[in-house]
């Protein structure tokens, strides 16, 4: 049995985790409104997707393997725009090395959601117009 009242009181419950992840997803307009690009990796168990919208980007990293994997990748943005990745769910941020590559250890079946370049977009939230026509295409 799953007791919703008990789960609601438990900050580590599946119910509270689901509510947090849904709330976080709603705070990431790039996913619903922006273009996406799959970032190439050398490991088929890793999926990295970058979403871009209105000069803002988020990066989702997923490990589909049953073991932890160490990965190295470039965000694929010009100049140093992708050098800082701010984790949206924890304090586990990433700064690129001198070759503009991020090195991460992702636990088995783990994931990371990052804001690319920091949280300055929060200062511009009033600029977001959700009346813009919705299109989705993969960036080249």
Mean pLDDT of 9-18: 81
**0.85 surpassed by pTM:** no
Mean pLDDT of 121-134: 54
- How many Å apart are CA 122 and CA 108, to the nearest integer? 31
pLDDT, the chain, mean: 85
Give bridge partners of residue 115 from the DSSP assignment. 58, 86
Look at residue 81 in the predicted model and tell me its pLDDT.
Answer: 86
Mean pLDDT of 19-26: 79
Mean pLDDT of 93-118: 93
Percent of the chain surpassing pLDDT 70: 83
Backbone torsions φ then ψ of 118, nearest 5 degrees:
115, -165
Give bridge partners of residue 70 from the DSSP assignment. 105
Give domain 32-126's CATH architecture: Sandwich (2.60)
What's the Cα-to-Cα distance from 120 to each of 9, 125, 137, rounded to whole Å? 33, 9, 25
* pLDDT range class, residue 130, cuts 50, 70, 90: low
Look at residue 5 in the predicted model and tell me its pLDDT.
Answer: 82
Question: Where are the chain's structural domains?
Answer: 32-126
Residues 37-87: tens digit of each pLDDT? 999 999 999 999 999 999 899 999 999 999 999 999 999 998 888 999 999
SS3 category, 114: strand
Look at residue 124 in the predicted model and tell me its pLDDT.
Answer: 56
């Amino acid at each position: 049995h799953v007791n919703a009242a008990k789960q609601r009181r438990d900050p580590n419950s599946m119910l509270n985790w689901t509510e947090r992840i849904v709330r976080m997803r709603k705070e990431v307009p790039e996913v619903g409104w922006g273009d996406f690009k799959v970032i190439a990796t050398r490991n088929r168990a890793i999926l990295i997707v970058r979403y871009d919208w209105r000069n803002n980007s988020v990066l989702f990293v997923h490990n589909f393997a049953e073991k932890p994997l160490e990965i190295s990748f470039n965000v694929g943005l010009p100049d140093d725009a992708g050098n800082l990745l701010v984790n949206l769910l924890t304090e586990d941020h990433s700064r690129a090395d001198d070759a503009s590559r991020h090195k991460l250890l992702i636990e088995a079946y783990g994931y990371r959601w990052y804001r690319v370049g920091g949280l300055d977009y929060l200062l511009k939230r009033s600029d977001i117009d959700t009346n813009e026509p919705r299109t989705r295409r993969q960036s080249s």
